[in-house]
A = this chain, B = another copy of it.
């Protein structure tokens, strides 16, 4: 993990069928441009025959720009049938956060952003409750209150989709947003829509996981940060963690302890996402 994002450098992320010579070709390409590798990660999935690469490249000694880099790299990408992108890491992306009544994940993300730890813009926060408005606005971030009535969610989500688009969201973070996201948004923001689930998935899928954990008498509780797909709680997992509980914990204690795990797991997941460390393939992730 690196804090180099603010230096002028490029990040290239690739996944493609595994073949001999990919690293050779990519790194030769970069070296010939006089690019210096700050961080370089590869993974070969031997079962699936699939290859993953993430390179951070210092451009201090390079004299081409991003567009030229893309243009010249395209033949290599085509040759190996790559899914790929290259990004100027100085350009901040737009993260729209959606929250409900609970403040802990949102407060944590806002503080990390405010203190400079999270390198992105937060163009707005959307919530179906009013109670967090003041906290959000203190950070200088617009707050949109969109109630989601039980009997007509469609209109509410049309409104939400509109707000998201108007703010040019690159990614959306569900910071304990307790509503099910409609398929249209899931599809449109596939791989860009992140949720925190308050259990160690696949344990305790669905509602009330802490109650279920309490009833089952587990000795650890956890949280799971994952990309949202149409299948509830089944999307690709980005990060997970657990905390120890015991018989002396009431359900309320579990909720309280779990909050800390949710908060830190979501923060790590969002960071990995912003640093393009997460590559999705099927229902699994590579996290460099």
Q: Which residues of A contact B (CB under 8 A)?
A: 1-4, 18, 20-21, 23-25, 27-28, 30-32, 34-40, 42-47, 52, 61, 103-104, 107-108, 111, 114-115, 117, 134-135, 138, 200-204, 216-220, 222, 236-237, 239-242, 246-250, 252-253, 256-257, 260, 264, 267, 283-287
Contacts and interface: CB of A to CB of B under 8 A. Distances in A.
A160 B67 CA distance: 57
A247 B39 CA distance: 12
A218 B247 contact: no
Contact of A24 (B30, B202, B260): B30
A138 B32 CA distance: 54
A242 B220 contact: yes
Q: Copy number in this complex?
A: 4
Nearest to A33: B20
Contacts of A111: 103-104, 107-108, 111
Nearest to A259: B117
Max count, chain B CB within 10 A of own CB: residue among A24, A40, A216? A24
Given A1-B248, A31-B20, A111-B107, A202 B220 contact: no
Contacts of A24: 24, 27-28, 30-32
Given A202-B203, A203-B200, A220 B217 contact: no
15 contacts: A1-B253, A2-B250, A3-B250, A23-B23, A24-B28, A27-B28, A107-B107, A135-B138, A216-B237, A218-B237, A219-B237, A247-B285, A247-B286, A247-B287, A264-B264
A214 to B, nearest CB: 9
A3 B219 contact: no
Contact of A46 (B21, B27, B138, B250): B250
A12 to B, nearest CB: 13
B220 A240 contact: yes
Contacts of A204: 202
